[in-house]
Amino acid sequence: MRTTNDPSASGGRGLRGSLTKRTRLLAAIVVLTTAASVLAVALAGRAPGGAAGAVPPSLVRWDSHRLTETPSASRAPVQLVEFIDFECRRCRATQPFMDELRADYAGRVDFVVRYFPLPGHANSTNAAMAVEAAAQQGAFAEMADVMWATHGHWGRSSEPQSSLFRSFAADLGLDMAAYDAAVADPATAARIRQDFEDGVALGVTGTPTHFLDGVLVRPADEVDFRGLLDAALAS
């Protein structure tokens, strides 16, 4: 009995083998592509430096300092957020007017202050740390007032003024052990840094910078500023 070699039969086996290899190759490509996509999504959800869950910028956070006594249940309908640097001379110059606004619009405008220590100022961060340490004892406004009142004594110094700021806290009758602990706590620096980073993300480039109901405003003068507040209240 003779064995006949069937070319078509052997060709069929070769074709099937080729298709199987191609199918496996395509499957491998799909798996690799899917894995790459998953990795890309995972990396996209990370902050620079590899930290997962980057915190989005916020105009007002739960720990932002409000200079109004409006209860949260009846929050004033208009909100003014001010980014400040305690070493900034323009900030110091505008504070008397800001005090007037807070008095004149009390109960109608929610005034919020956030830190924005400019890198070029030698003591802006130290001042913010001192004010935040005082704020942890309920004395944000009192310490801020002292900073503005004494600005002429330390505002142009290139030397660290932490000891002077500590004496301000002592004069206010604060618990100095708690104050020192707050200044040394990395969480205090992180709190201030979060304000600064939010400001940068929101378009703040200098101080003072104001947001009225979430919109960056640049009033030309005091009359214009009051007009903006009145218009916001009227709307």
Distance CA 152, CA 137 (A): 26
Kindly state the average pLDDT of the residues 201-209: 96
The fraction of the chain above a pLDDT of 90, given in percent, is: 66
CATH superfamily of the 65-69+77-234 domain: Glutaredoxin (3.40.30.10)
C-alpha torsion angle, residues 67, 69, 74, 80 (rounded to 10): -20
Average pLDDT, the chain: 82
Kindly state the average pLDDT of the residues 144-156: 94
82 neighbors 208 (Cβ within 8 angstroms): yes
Which residue ranges make up each domain of the chain? 65-69+77-234
Q: Does 32 or 222 have the greater pLDDT score?
A: 222
DSSP for residue 96:
H
Give pLDDT tens digits for 161-171. Answer: 999 999 999 99
The DSSP annotation for 22-88 comes to HHHHHHHHHHHHHHHHHHHHHHHTBPTTS-BSPPPP-SS-TT-EE-----GGG--SEEEEEEE-TT-
Cα 30 vs. chain centroid, distance in angstroms? 41
Q: What is the pTM of this model?
A: 0.74
Q: State residue 94's pLDDT score.
A: 96
Residue 228 pLDDT exceeds 70? yes
Q: State residue 69's pLDDT score.
A: 64
Both tokens of residue 17? Answer: 């083998």
Both tokens of residue 165? Answer: 């700021």
Categorise residue 46: left if φ over 0, alpha if ψ from -120 to 50, beta otherwise: beta
